[in-house]
């Protein structure tokens, strides 16, 4: 290690609507830079661009490699999970994982760790309890919805100041853990596959979530949906067409300035409400 200064890099993904993971990542980096240590931030944006980046990335420069993601359906976003398969051998390097979620991270870190085990990265820490404002359309009928889309009331205002301070402390603590040769590998990578994460498998989300219907009369062909899609799943032809399976993040739907993308979430919202109501009846919620 160069003059006991550590050089770290954090790869992260954070959707353009909320940016929760970005906020947490920047705070972890602040902690990691204390005392003159260096930390670079790399934001993942789109599947194919990210793969190119990973292919040419100078991993050898770094002592510590972090990866942060939002939780999508109890998993890491699938495009990120598939990208992790392309990380090269990282023998001799230390690593850490984290995520932000609306409150239920499911088996997100477990799945990332499982895929990265192949690289030899020694995972020294991880954290999956940071909350981020959750604007998924499944909460569209919540009382505080603005009408276009809903949000989960319990996640509103997160990550808050306390969580961001905690993220900075987490970063600071990583410095000693990296410098100490006796730091052991973290193996309790947290909850394993549960029923919900099994149901929302890659195939499961394709089947269960609604299709995209373009309202041509409203669409101005501005291209924003295609530009922000992390999967490059939308092509302009000259109107947008959805050409492949994707993360089902519905960011294209949320961000369209003309509300030209119609997705019918009624079935999914009804299902979610029935689970919530059953939970309330049994005093589980």
Ligand X SMILES: Cc1cc2nc3c(=O)[nH]c(=O)nc-3n(C[C@H](O)[C@H](O)[C@H](O)COP(=O)(O)O)c2cc1C
By the criterion CB under 6 A, which residues form the site for ligand SF4? 214, 219-225, 229-231, 233-234, 240, 242, 246-252, 256, 258, 260-261
What contacts 121, CB < 8 A, 6 or more positions away?
65, 87, 90, 93, 94, 95
The nearer residue to ligand X, 122 or 141, going by C-beta atoms, is 141
């991993």: which residue's tokens? 59
Site string for ligand X, 195-234 (x = CB under 6 A): ----------------------------------------
Which option in ligand SF4, ligand X, none does residue 20 bind, with CB closer than 5 to 8 A by kind?
ligand X
Residue (of 83, 80, 82) closest to 55 by Cα position: 83
Q: Pick out residues in 128-167 that bind ligand X (CB under 6 A).
A: 132-134, 136
**Of positions 62, 74, 98, 242, contacts ligand X by CB under 6 A:** 74
Contact predicate 37/66, CB 8 Å: no
- Between vectors from CA 249 to CA 112 and to CA 104, what angle results, nearest 5°? 55
């992390």: which residue's tokens? 230
Instruction: Report in angstroms how near the CB of residue 283 gets to ligand X at its nearest.
Output: 21
The DSSP letter of residue 99 is: E
What contacts 114, CB < 8 A, 6 or more positions away?
189
**Of positions 140, 249, 252, 260, contacts ligand X by CB under 6 A:** 249
Checking 82-86 for CB contacts under 8 A at 24+ apart, the result is 82/47, 83/44, 83/47, 83/50, 83/51, 83/54, 84/112, 84/115, 84/116, 85/115, 86/51, 86/54, 86/55
Instruction: Report in angstroms how near the CB of residue 120 gets to ligand X at its nearest.
Output: 28
Which option in ligand X, ligand SF4, none does residue 178 bind, with CB closer than 5 to 8 A by kind?
none
Which option in ligand SF4, ligand X, none does residue 220 bind, with CB closer than 5 to 8 A by kind?
ligand SF4
- Between vectors from CA 80 to CA 77 and to CA 82, what angle results, nearest 5°? 110
Kindly indicate which of the ranges 3-11, 66-74, 232-240, 255-263 contains the residues binding ligand X, using the contact rule CB under 6 A: 66-74
Kindly indicate which of the ranges 44-52, 97-105, 183-191, 263-271 contains the residues binding ligand X, using the contact rule CB under 6 A: 97-105
Which option in ligand SF4, ligand X, none does residue 10 bind, with CB closer than 5 to 8 A by kind?
none
**Distance between CA atoms of 220 and 259, rounded to whole angstroms?**
11
**Of positions 66, 70, 95, 230, contacts ligand X by CB under 6 A:** 70
Residue nearest to ligand X (CB): 132
The nearer residue to ligand SF4, 183 or 268, going by C-beta atoms, is 268
The nearer residue to ligand X, 87 or 200, going by C-beta atoms, is 200
Q: Tell me: does residue 101 bind ligand X (CB under 6 A).
A: yes
Residue (of 142, 129, 72, 69) closest to 103 by Cα position: 129
3-state secondary structure at position 32? helix
Q: Pick out residues in 3-62 that bind ligand X (CB under 6 A).
A: 14-15, 18-22
How many residues at the interface with ligand X, by CB under 6 A? Answer: 23
Instruction: Give just the sign of the alpha carbon dihedral 241, 246, 249, 251.
Output: negative
Q: Tell me which residues touch ligand X (CB under 6 A).
A: 14-15, 18-22, 70-74, 100-104, 106, 132-134, 136, 249
């Amino acid at each position: 290690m160069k003059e006991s200064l550590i050089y770290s890099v954090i790869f992260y993904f954070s959707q353009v609507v909320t940016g929760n993971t970005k906020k947490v990542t920047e705070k972890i980096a602040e902690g990691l830079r204390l005392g003159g240590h260096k930390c670079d931030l790399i934001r993942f944006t789109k599947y194919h661009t990210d793969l190119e980046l990973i292919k040419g990335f100078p991993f050898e420069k770094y002592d510590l490699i972090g990866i942060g993601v939002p939780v999508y359906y109890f998993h890491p976003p699938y495009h990120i999970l598939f990208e992790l398969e392309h990380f090269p051998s990282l023998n001799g390097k230390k690593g850490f994982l984290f995520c932000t979620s609306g409150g239920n991270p499911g088996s997100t870190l477990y799945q990332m760790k499982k895929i990265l085990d192949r690289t030899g990265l020694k995972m020294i820490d991880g954290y999956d309890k940071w909350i981020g404002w959750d604007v998924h359309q499944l909460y569209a009928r919540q009382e505080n919805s603005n009408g276009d889309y809903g949000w989960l009331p319990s996640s509103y205002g997160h990550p808050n100041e306390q969580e961001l301070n905690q993220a900075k402390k987490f970063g600071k603590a990583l410095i000693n853990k990296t410098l100490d040769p006796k730091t052991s590998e973290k193996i309790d990578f947290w909850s394993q596959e549960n029923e919900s994460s099994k149901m929302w498998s890659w195939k499961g989300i394709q089947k269960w979530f609604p299709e995209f219907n373009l309202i041509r009369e409203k669409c101005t062909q501005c291209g924003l949906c295609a530009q922000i899609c992390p999967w490059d799943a939308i092509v302009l032809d000259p109107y947008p067409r959805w050409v492949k399976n994707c993360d089902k993040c519905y960011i294209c739907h949320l961000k369209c300035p003309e509300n030209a993308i119609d997705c019918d979430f009624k079935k999914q919202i009804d299902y979610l409400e029935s689970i919530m109501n059953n939970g309330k009846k049994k005093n589980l919620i």
